[in-house]
Amino acid sequence: MPLEKPYLDVPGTTIFDADQSRRGYHLNQFCMSLMKAANRERFKANERAYLDEWPMTEEQKLAVLARDLNRCIGLGGNIYFLAKIGATDGKSFQQMAGSMTGMTEEEYRNMMLSGGRSANGNRYVGEDGDAQAHRQPQGAAGKAGQPQGAAGLNSAKAV
């Protein structure tokens, strides 16, 4: 009998459950290796070569190289592990989180300063809030018609 997953209808959200964890094991363990300064240096010196030391899928490696965090999450990554890549790049958690929305850094920061994203319209798939699939990507990136980051999630969710 399949396990009950009542969290699959939350828009713009991937719950890191045991299935995702299994899918992302090597991706997340690669991220974990960046906790050591020496490994951060080796990764920065040649990202592709460092990634090739890990039994990750090609798709996972490409998502890391592109810093497409939504895609990484779709492929089993967890944000607390992926944050090690951001730390290696010198990015703050706010920059990382913002990168998944399609907003510019300033837009995302302003959203947080004005109280954050509302839950209204963003509780269930099929409502009309700003986190819904049909409204991605958000912010200037969306208006400029340059799908990035956020667009990756929908295809990733279909995996």
Partner 1 sequence: MAQITASVFTSHVPAIGAALDLGKDKEPYWQPLFKGYEYSKQWMKENTPDVIFLVYNDHATAFSLEMIPTFAIGCADSFRPADEGYGARPVPVVQGHPELAAHIAQSVIQQDFDLTIVNKMDVDHGLTVPLSLMCGQPQAWPCPVIPFAVNVVQYPVPSGRRCYNLGKAIRNAIVSYDEPLNVHIWGTGGMSHQLQGPRAGLINAEWDNKFLDRLIADPDDLANVPHIEYVREAGSEGIELVMWLIARGAMSDSFGGPPPSVKHRFFHVPASNTAVGHLILENNQ
Q: What is the DSSP letter of 138?
A: P
Distance, in Å, from the CA atom of 112 to the CA atom of 9, rounded to the nearest integer, reads 24
Q: What separation in angstroms does the CA of 101 have from each of 26, 30, 47?
A: 25, 24, 25
Number of residues that bind partner 1 (CB under 8 A): 63
Q: Is the peptide bond before 137 cis (omega within 30 degrees of 0)?
A: yes
44 binds partner 1 (CB under 8 A): no
Nearest CA among 46, 28, 23, 42 for reference residue 82: 28
59, 97, 104, 105: which one contacts partner 1 (CB under 8 A)?
97
Taking the complex as a whole, how short is the minimal distance between the CB of residue 83 and partner 1, in angstroms? 7
Furthest C-alpha separation in the chain? 47
12, 60, 68, 75: which one contacts partner 1 (CB under 8 A)?
12
96 binds partner 1 (CB under 8 A): yes
Note the residues at the interface with partner 1 (CB under 8 A).
6-7, 10-18, 21, 25, 28-29, 31-32, 34-37, 40, 69-70, 73, 78-81, 83-84, 86-88, 92-94, 96-98, 100-102, 108, 111-113, 115-119, 122-124, 131-133, 136-138, 150, 153
